[in-house]
């Protein structure tokens, strides 16, 4: 139950003070709370239930790819970071070191687990018969250097999954890196109803130590892009460093190829931003823990009869996690507001007049649409409504993405698009110094080089040099 003080409702407007609106939705819908330690958060039951839905969906999919779940230690020896210079440099500012040392060596809390897992892989991989090796772990990581924090979107500690795989050759390595990226895309679009753009990161945006980084990017209502998941072709860099080698079918020693891939609880932040409104949280039905709430309209004379019918209806809808709000110390209007605030997809209202008509009133959370449904048809009507709601939420978000995407033929159009907080697609040379200048001038960054560009050639929108393709740019979280 949401506490009374929370039910003042959302006082900020989504299209007014977006940042304050977001914070209020997360807090008042009971998804998370602030921790006494800056940059950390408490994930509350409603928020963790969403993460469990994401976990369950993704675990099922990666099991089809023959990935095994494992768990590796929280602490990583300093010598492991020193082995791969680019990786170490990339994470150096974010490392949190323990005061106590182990045999004179510093230990860091994991910011990611490549180093400690790959040391282990060097002992597991001996022959081509051991490959491919596919591991995944669900855990938390700690990245200390966070100046501005925001619940779910940017915290020092966050929950995530990280997959790490080893292959005989680069073709298989890249193929599966892209396959896991596609699983992220499916999760975002089919479970969370959030459309994403898939592509490859530029050199400047690439994961430290990777040969290639692939990404899916979403676009938020405040005009900022959000990275929703990444996969990386790590090449042989880490394998050489950590001695991950194997004997091929001819008995010759070979260096393995590796990839890694991850997503985090920032998906919950995206879910809130994309779908929610000024009344509170709006959840796509597939990710909602409970799909429906039944609110009885109680009067003293008919109370017993109405409650009985409400309970019968909940039993009829048990597979949807439907429940009855039978509290008699709150008005029906109060309950309506509460369940709208926390994002239950469908509300059934049952009163004495409804019983006379052998019906309930079904209300959609996303549109507020109301209609009467016969008790006998409630299960069928709820299933149909949830399916339509999931589709509608996705297409509304997709329409926003399309409306927010603009092309730029020259620098003036590029600057204008960024200033208007659009997702800008333009020819780009992909050179580091050019991208750094774009960042300095506009505070926008390259989000991805989208897949599927054919015969794309032009001049870079920023420097005028030859460009082999277009990139998406935007301000970003």
pLDDT in tens, 218-234: 999 999 999 999 999 99
User: What pTM was computed for the model?
Assistant: 0.95
Calculate mean pLDDT across residues 300-308. 95
Residue 255 burial (C-beta neighbours within 10 Å; 0-12, 13-18, 19+): middle
The average pLDDT across 16-39 equals: 97
Name which residue leads in pLDDT, 2 or 91. 91
pLDDT at 7: 52
H helical segments located in 276-404: 303-316, 332-341, 352-356, 378-404
pLDDT of 365 strictly over 90: yes
Same domain, 266 and 306: no
E strand or H helix that includes residue 296: strand 292-296
Q: Are 182 and 199 in contact (CB under 8 A)?
A: no
Q: Is the pLDDT of residue 335 over 70?
A: yes
Q: Are residues 422 and 326 in the same domain?
A: no
Query: Residue 391: inside a domain, yes or no?
Result: no
Residue 176 and residue 106 share a domain:
yes
Domain termination site, one of 208, 240, 275: 275
Which CATH number is 460's domain given? 3.30.110.30
C-beta of residue 82 within 8 angstroms of C-beta of residue 242: no
The mean per-residue pLDDT over the stretch 133-138 comes to 98
| Pair (271, 313) in one structural domain | no
Q: Which positions ≥6 away from 114 have C-beta within 8 Å? A: 84, 87, 164, 209, 234, 238, 260
Q: Does position 4 have pLDDT exceeding 60, yes or no?
A: no
**What total of structural domains would you count in the chain?**
3
On whether both 26 and 57 belong to a single domain, the answer is yes
Lowest mean pLDDT among 90-99, 102-111, 228-237: 90-99
Instruction: Assess if residue 104 is contained within a domain.
Output: yes
Q: Residue 2 pLDDT > 70, yes or no?
A: no
Query: What is the rounded average pLDDT of the residues 50-78?
Result: 97
- Is the pLDDT at 5 greater than 70? The verdict is no
Structural domain range at position 104: 17-275
Q: Is residue 226 part of a domain?
A: yes
For the ranges 85-89, 342-346, 377-381, the lowest mean pLDDT is seen at 85-89
pLDDT of residue 1 exceeding 50: no
Whether residue 306 is contained in a domain is answered as yes
Rounded mean pLDDT of 244-249? 98
Does 304 fall in a domain?
yes
**What CATH number does residue 308 fall under?**
3.40.50.800
Q: Collapsing DSSP states into helix, strand and coil, what is residue 111?
A: coil
The pLDDT confidence band at residue 270, using thresholds 50, 70 and 90, is: very high
**Mean pLDDT (the chain, rounded):** 95
Q: Which of 359, 386, 413 is the last residue of a domain?
A: 386
Question: Is 82 in the same domain as 111?
Answer: yes
The verdict on residue 395 lying in a domain is no
Give the H or E element holding residue 448.
strand 445-450
Q: What is the pLDDT of residue 3?
A: 45
Residues for the chain: how many in total?
477
Which tens digits make up the pLDDT trace of 383-412?
A: 999 999 999 999 999 999 999 999 999 999
- Residues 379, 313 contacting (CB under 8 angstroms): no
Mean of the pLDDT values across residues 182-189? Answer: 98
Residue 45 belongs to some domain of the structure: yes
Same-domain pairing of 21 and 115: yes
Q: Is 361 helix (H, G, I), strand (E, B) or coil?
A: strand
The DSSP code sequence of 31-75 is SEEE-SSTT-EEE-HHHHHHHHHHHHHHHHHHHHTT-EE----SE
Q: Rounded to whole angstroms, how far apart are CA atoms 405 and 474?
A: 10
CA gap 180, 415 in Å, rounded: 34
Structure tokens at 342: 């926390």
Q: Residue 125's pLDDT is what?
A: 98
CATH number at residue 71: 3.30.930.10
180 and 144 housed in the same domain: yes
The last residue of one of the domains, among 336, 353, 386, is 386
pLDDT-based confidence at residue 6 (cuts at 50, 70, 90): very low
Q: Residue 284: inside a domain, yes or no?
A: no
């Amino acid at each position: 139950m949401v506490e009374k003080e929370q039910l003042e409702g959302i006082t900020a407007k989504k299209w007014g003070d977006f940042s304050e609106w977001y914070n209020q939705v997360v807090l008042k819908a009971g998804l998370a709370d602030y921790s006494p330690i800056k940059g950390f958060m408490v994930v509350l039951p409603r928020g963790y239930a969403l993460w469990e839905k994401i976990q369950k969906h993704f675990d099922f999919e990666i099991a089809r790819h023959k990935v095994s779940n494992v768990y590796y230690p929280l602490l990583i020896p300093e010598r492991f970071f020193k082995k791969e210079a680019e990786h170490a440099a990339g994470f150096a500012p974010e490392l949190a070191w323990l005061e106590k040392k182990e045999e004179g060596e510093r230990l860091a809390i994991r910011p990611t687990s490549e180093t400690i897992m790959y040391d282990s892989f060097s002992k597991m991989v001996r022959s081509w018969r051991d490959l491919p090796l596919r591991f995944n772990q669900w855990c938390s990581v700690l990245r200390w250097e966070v100046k501005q924090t925001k619940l779910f979107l940017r915290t020092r500690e966050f929950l995530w999954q990280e997959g790490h795989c080893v292959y005989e050759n680069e073709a298989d390595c890249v193929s599966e890196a892209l396959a896991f990226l596609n699983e992220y895309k499916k999760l975002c679009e089919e479970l969370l109803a959030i459309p994403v753009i898939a592509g490859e990161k530029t050199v400047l945006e690439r994961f430290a130590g990777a040969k290639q980084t692939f990404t899916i990017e979403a676009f938020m209502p405040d005009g900022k892009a959000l990275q929703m998941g990444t996969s990386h072709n790590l090449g042989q860099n880490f394998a050489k460093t950590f001695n991950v080698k194997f004997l091929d079918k001819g008995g010759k020693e070979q260096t393995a190829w590796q990839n890694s891939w991850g997503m985090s609880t920032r998906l919950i932040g995206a879910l809130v931003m994309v779908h929610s409104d000024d009344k509170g949280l709006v959840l796509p039905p597939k990710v909602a823990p409970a799909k429906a709430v039944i609110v009885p309209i109680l009067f003293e004379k008919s109370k017993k009869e109405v409650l009985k019918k409400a309970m019968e209806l909940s039993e009829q809808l048990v597979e949807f996690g439907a429940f009855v709000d039978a509290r008699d110390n709150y008005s029906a209007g109060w309950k309506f507001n509460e369940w709208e605030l926390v994002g239950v997809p469908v509300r059934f209202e049952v009163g004495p007049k409804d019983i006379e008509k052998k019906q309930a009133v079904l209300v959609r959370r996303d549109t507020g649409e109301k209609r009467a449904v016969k008790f006998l048809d409630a299960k069928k009507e709820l299933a149909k409504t949830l399916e339509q709601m999931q589709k509608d939420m996705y297409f509304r978000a997709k329409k926003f993405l399309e409306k927010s995407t603009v092309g730029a033929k020259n620098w003036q159009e590029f600057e204008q698009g960024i200033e208007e907080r659009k997702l800008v697609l333009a020819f780009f040379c992909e050179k580091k110094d050019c991208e750094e200048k774009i960042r300095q001038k506009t505070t926008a960054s390259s989000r991805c080089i989208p897949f599927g560009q054919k015969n794309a050639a032009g001049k870079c929108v920023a420097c005028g040099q030859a460009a082999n393709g277009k990139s998406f740019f935007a301000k970003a979280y």
